[in-house]
Structure 1
């Protein structure tokens, strides 16, 4: 009904006045220029007879529209005409409506598509049988009977949204931060020590802790110390046996999802990326590209800092240093960071 109303209204306006013809004729019209007088009530735009005051109730939209569409700034204290004719006023109203409709449409199109997902790994990982026959949205508080005991198992419902730029589905709480990835002008935080830049202030703060020697988060059960609360939280899973990321192909379980993904890729997926030169297959495009550059193009980027020999793979260079230069096998990188600092001191 609203759309039909505006179509009828615009149709009546076109029948009464052809806007294009009206403004086109003003280019060569000298009538308004010759009769210009500061005491005459005339239109601020076309200088014809004016009847609608620019200033007054509801004037903000008119003044803003004149600035946007007419590229002029009007002030009540100046000596220029302070009215609009009905044609110019109606055109401004339609232009304002167009701008508002365009803004609403743009906001609607850019609004994320909401989805609902359940993170059953938080409190229900010990009772997978309790989840199988439950509705994860409506029945998420679940009672589980184990032997003679009943325990409550909570299923946390997490809102998911879809990015309108890349269509990636992310947590709703992270959505605004995710959009900064698509904004080239977004402010970046740069580390004063190493020069690494970050989009998010929290990521920059966490990175800055890497350059310090403090480990304020200590484990209650072992000597472990962490720089961040999240690291300690993850470490605590080693004591509770909370290896929440489970492989669906074998009994393997992992603390981190990245480890699970790496396990699935290397153990349960076929090597899909094949070299056209020798028909060797690899799990990833990066591994295929590295193989082609080293084995077929002869590119060697790893240089021994002792003798200057070059190698295609880092492992080959490290093996060379241990065999030729009697360098000890480095296990240092596998140490927890707090032990690395203590050993240095």
Structure 2
């Protein structure tokens, strides 16, 4: 009946959200307590909701039951399919509060807004540099570790950054083209 009447008698004392049932409130409270009672038996990652664990487990089983009819790409969750379909529809529901830019994913909006706020939450553990995106931090930290992940299959030279390898590969392409002419 509460679904039809709109009555939501259970209120969170932390954030004032309301719920239809006490079990919904109990699940919600895990947001505040950081309790994650459901663990993946494969990798150990923990979740506050059982449904989140069940969606996660599809990563390990390879089950991808949702398919995009535009490009036939498959997804483990309905929500990931819906997010993907914005590529085809052009829908960009997330608008920057500082400028007119719009984004199809909330995470892209959050990253973009750091341009305006100056926030750089990712700090290098070896030096004072900070970054707006974790991927930039990871790339930077290879400088300290001297880790070279990309190797040229023609000459064996290694690079820390993929784009540097691509630039290098153009040298081989030019030489190969010249030698065949």
- Superposition TM-score tier, normalisation by shorter sequence: 0.5 to 0.7
1:93-242 alignment, distance < 5 Å: 112=11, 163-165=12-14, 167=15, 170=17, 172=19, 175-182=25-32, 188-242=37-91
Alpha-carbon shift at residue 235 of structure 1 (Å):
1.2
Retained in 2: the 8 A contact 1:245–1:254? yes
The change in CA–CA distance for 1:315 and 1:195 in structure 2 (over 3 A counts) is: same
Tell me how many residue pairs correspond in the alignment. Answer: 137
Instruction: Please report the RMSD computed on the Cα atoms of aligned residues, expressed in angstroms.
Output: 3.5
Alpha-carbon shift at residue 250 of structure 1 (Å):
2.7
- Listed one character per residue, the Cα deviations across residues 165-209 of structure 1 (whole Å, up to 9, x for unaligned) are 3x3x5574764422134558x671111111112221001101101
The change in CA–CA distance for 1:330 and 1:262 in structure 2 (over 3 A counts) is: same
TM-score normalised per structure 2: 0.59
1:61-72 alignment, distance < 5 Å: none
Look at both structures and tell me which one has the larger radius of gyration over its CA atoms.
Answer: 1
**Structure 2 residue ranges without an equivalent (≥5):** 1-9, 129-137, 164-181
Retained in 2: the 8 A contact 1:294–1:312? no
- Listed one character per residue, the Cα deviations across residues 193-232 of structure 1 (whole Å, up to 9, x for unaligned) are 1111222100110110111223221111113111111111
Distance 1:171 1:236 in 2: 31
TM-score normalised per structure 1: 0.34
**Structure 1 residue ranges without an equivalent (≥5):** 1-110, 113-162, 272-282, 297-310, 332-345
Retained in 1: the 8 A contact 2:139–2:161? no
1:1-345 alignment, distance < 5 Å: 112=11, 163-165=12-14, 167=15, 170=17, 172=19, 175-182=25-32, 188-266=37-115, 268-269=116-117, 271=118, 283-284=119-120, 286-287=121-122, 290-291=123-124, 293-295=125-127, 313-316=140-143, 320-321=147-148, 322=150, 326=158
Distance 2:139 2:56 in 1: 31
